[in-house]
Amino acid sequence: MQSELLKALNRSGLTFIKVKGKTLKERYQPISDFTELRKKFGVYCYANRVLNAKAAPYVEAEFDHRKSEKFLNFSSQDYLGLSQNEEVKNAVKLAIDEFGIHAASSPVLTGRNKMTEKLESKLASVLNKEQCLLYPTGWTACFGVIASLVTELDYIIIDALSHNSLQVGAKYSTPHVQKFKHNDVEHLEKLLKKRRESEPNAGIFVILEGLFSMNSDMPDLKSVLHLANKYEAILIIDVAHDFGAMGSKGLGVLETVENENLDNVVVCGAFSKSFASNGGFVAGPNVIRQQLIVFSPTYTFSNGISQMQCAAVLKCTDIIFSKQGDILRKQSKENIDFAIKEFNKNGFVTNGIPSPIVPVLIGADDLARLISKEIINQGLLANLAEYPAVPKSQAIFRFQIMSNHTHSQIADAVQKIKHAKIDAEKTLKSLI
């Protein structure tokens, strides 16, 4: 039993990345067995969680079909709490009455309606772009923009910690992909200079995020933009996590480059963080629109974003870019600052800048896995990120702070993970 627990705590899913065999069972039984082993000891961080109520500060949830229990919830990315907003819900109900619930076609056929066009126009205006194209999810938008704009003859220089959708899009589009060290402007310039000197006429794309969700940090976007302009590169930035939730105007990192030349900048993102809906977007100059429509596989060969999604995002956009939105961001910032202070006061290290994502550094993967079990026992939901999502022995818990959390709920969550860590450390000592 002790050896099994150690195996569950110390082995990585990457052990099974190079599968072998001719049958499904031969190829995939090992990772299935390892998953069951981790579940047996309650240290599988992707255990089947089923919420039996709305995503709110407190939720009813069950794990792997066990009896539903009440949990303090810091694992939902409803940053401004708008998924439960009555105006948003009413807007969706009206859209259902008028348009139904499903686009029922690809957007290049009959999967668009006046709600689609209204939202695209509104987002283009908010982002100060000539046009905007909607996708059914944020992942498909971020993958699709790269898949359509980049060809196999082009070159990509991408931040090493960019989101999976960007990494996969880059790999899909061209064999010429280089990673620059995370947020390292000097390394980026070195790669840009070398590439432009060797390929004076090639298309070069720089790809990064506005807020990196594992580190809770932002790029020096002004410096990156200057380099892109200097070396005649096109910049693609994913603002999924900061757009709407951060900045004095709700524009996140884009507020740092408002007065810069953005002619060769394309902005993509997701609605699933602050805009209470699935869905995503790509915004930029008019000249890229037809290229996106024809060559973006996740647009052309996917069903269009639904009327319900459009209605939710339209109403959220009205709220977010109004005085009400300013109040929500102020509440969010107060909660974030309080959370960081509470974690630090109780001996935890938090990474990054103040944002709706507060990464709490644990370190050792085995300890983090045991804590993930213990916080469930404490009645707390928070998301564990372990290797390979983060570097080995740098496991974190991502606390996702919502504007409708209270300070007492945040303080309670800190105490719960503190006690969980103490219990986990005791268990580890007993295994030595």
pLDDT band, residue 7 (cuts 50/70/90): confident
| Mean pLDDT value of segment 402-413 | 98
pLDDT at position 47 is 66
Q: What percent of the chain has pLDDT over 70?
A: 98
Rg, C-alpha atoms of the chain: 22
pLDDT at 417 over 80: yes
Identify residue 321 by its one-letter amino acid code.
F
pLDDT at position 136 is 96
| Mean pLDDT value of segment 256-262 | 94
pLDDT at 66 over 80: no
| Mean pLDDT value of segment 208-232 | 97
The CATH fold of domain 84-320: Aspartate Aminotransferase; domain 2 (3.40.640)
pLDDT at position 64 is 66
Q: How many CA atoms lie within 13 A of 319 on its CB side?
A: 23
pLDDT at 405 over 90: yes
Q: Provide the b/e sequence for 65-74 (b: ≥16 CB within 10 Å).
A: eeeeeebbbb
- C-alpha distances in Å from residue 44, one per residue of 48, 370, 377, 427: 9, 9, 14, 16
Q: What is the pTM of this model?
A: 0.94
pLDDT in tens, 273-295: 999 999 999 999 999 999 999 99
Beta strands in 173-293 (DSSP E): 177-180, 204-209, 234-238, 265-270, 280-284
How far, in Å, CA of 174 to CA of 33, rounded?
36
| Mean pLDDT value of segment 213-232 | 97
Residue with tokens 């689609």: 116
pLDDT band, residue 418 (cuts 50/70/90): very high
pLDDT at 402 over 80: yes
How many Cβ atoms are within 10 Å of 84's Cβ, its own excluded?
14
DSSP assignment letter at 41? T
| Mean pLDDT value of segment 427-431 | 89
pLDDT at 184 over 80: yes
Long-range contacts of 290-297 (CB under 8 A, 24+ apart): 291/148, 291/149, 292/133, 292/144, 292/145, 292/148, 292/149, 293/107, 293/108, 293/133, 294/148, 295/147, 295/148, 296/144, 296/145, 296/147, 296/148, 297/144, 297/147, 297/148
Q: Are 154 and 190 in contact, with CB atoms under 8 Å apart?
A: no
pLDDT at 382 over 90: yes
pLDDT at 222 over 70: yes
pLDDT band, residue 46 (cuts 50/70/90): confident
- C-alpha distances in Å from residue 152, one per residue of 210, 372, 420: 26, 42, 49
How far, in Å, CA of 358 to CA of 344, rounded?
11
How far, in Å, CA of 422 to CA of 416, rounded?
10
pLDDT at position 53 is 67
pLDDT at 431 over 90: no
Average pLDDT value for the chain: 94
pLDDT at 5 over 90: no
Who's near 163: CB < 8 A, 6+ residues apart? 142, 209, 213, 238, 240
DSSP assignment letter at 68? P
User: In the chain, which residues fall in CATH 3.40.640.10?
Assistant: 84-320
Who's near 216: CB < 8 A, 6+ residues apart? 351, 352, 353, 355, 357, 358, 359
How far, in Å, CA of 400 to CA of 405, rounded?
10
The arrangement of secondary structure in 42-73+327-431, i.e. its CATH architecture, is Alpha-Beta Complex (3.90)
Length of the chain: 432
Identify residue 66 by its one-letter amino acid code.
R
pLDDT at position 310 is 97
Beta strands in 161-264 (DSSP E): 177-180, 204-209, 234-238
pLDDT at position 309 is 97
Q: Provide the b/e sequence for 298-316 (b: ≥16 CB within 10 Å).
A: bbbebebbbbbbbbbbbbb
pLDDT at position 13 is 78
pLDDT at position 292 is 98
Q: Among 7-16, 93-102, 127-136, 165-174, which stretch is predicted with the lowest mean pLDDT?
A: 7-16
User: In the chain, which residues fall in CATH 3.90.1150.10?
Assistant: 42-73+327-431
